[in-house]
Amino acid sequence: MARRKARGRPINGWLVLDKPSGITSTGALTAAKRLIDPAKAGHGGTLDPLATGVLPLAFGEATKTVPYIMDGTKSYRFSLRFGEARDTDDAEGVALKTSAHRPDDAGIEDALQDYRGVVAQVPPFYAAVKVAGERAYDLARRGEVFQLEAREVRIDRLVMIDRPDADRAVFEMDCGKGTYVRALARDLGEQLGCFAHVETLRRTRVGPFRIEDAVGLDVLERLVADDALLQVLAPVSTALADIPALAVTEPQALRLRSGQRIRVAPGLLVGSSEEGNTTVRAMLADRTVALGRLEGADLDPVRVFND
């Protein structure tokens, strides 16, 4: 039987999209796919429809590295509106509770101390986390009653950068995987005794991808029309920059790409890894051949790349 011809263009690499407000991350990916027509595509980190900013899009071999981007540090700039709690914890929701109280700057600064470091956070009800196999936002939209468990998240930096008026404050945050800005708004508003929700939200970084390198859908359309897409694509290996590198030879690269174990000489590992971390990047010159698990002198391929 003849093999089915692959559909789409064989494109490999990462595109940093500046997601517009009003569409989901999946919707933004779909719009980009219509323009580019890649054979394979995915995205590295969901943004709420209200949110804008960095949405890394993976094409071809880059889709194999999506989990490493999902685990990366993320940065946000967002504004909170005080005085109103909403069911979605952002401006798109329905008002649930209101308060005439407004916190002063000193009160906000003092409260922020409780949200730095490793903290317990309950996700918003309108979130993609699963409850008994269903997305929480689907249950919430149906009006079902359910509970979400608190989980530990990491907030490395959280600062107030502006106070336009008594009703609003603007913040910047660097955080780890699974941190919800909307949950932070909800909890901070409760603690300040005034309620709060997210009014605007912009993601400025995901791992190595920054807003300065992002392109909007309108710019992407022009790049595709001018056959200049490759000028803005980041290499597949960009997502793996924090993983220690191991130089391999042509014969070793061939074995790894065939799914076979290789023996490596000591002292070839470039970059230090955390204790117990044995995942390495096998590199042939400047190209990533595979991700592998190093045990002693043996390297077993976990993911192989053919770009």
Known catalytic residues? 48
Distance (Å, whole) CA 279 – CA 293: 5
Concatenated DSSP letters of the chain: -PPPPPPSB---EEEEEEEPTTS-HHHHHHHHHHHH-BSSEEESS---TT-EEEEEEEEGGGGGGHHHHHTS-EEEEEEEEESEEETTSBTTS-EEEE-S----HHHHHHHHGGGSEEEEEPPPSSSS-EETTEEHHHHHHTT-------EEEEEEEEEEEEEEETTEEEEEEEE-TT--HHHHHHHHHHHHTS-EEEEEEEEEEETTEEGGG-B-HHHHHHHHHTT-GGGTPBPGGGGGTTSPEEE--HHHHHHHHTT--EE--TT-EES---TT--EEEEEETTEEEEEEEEETTEEEEEEE---
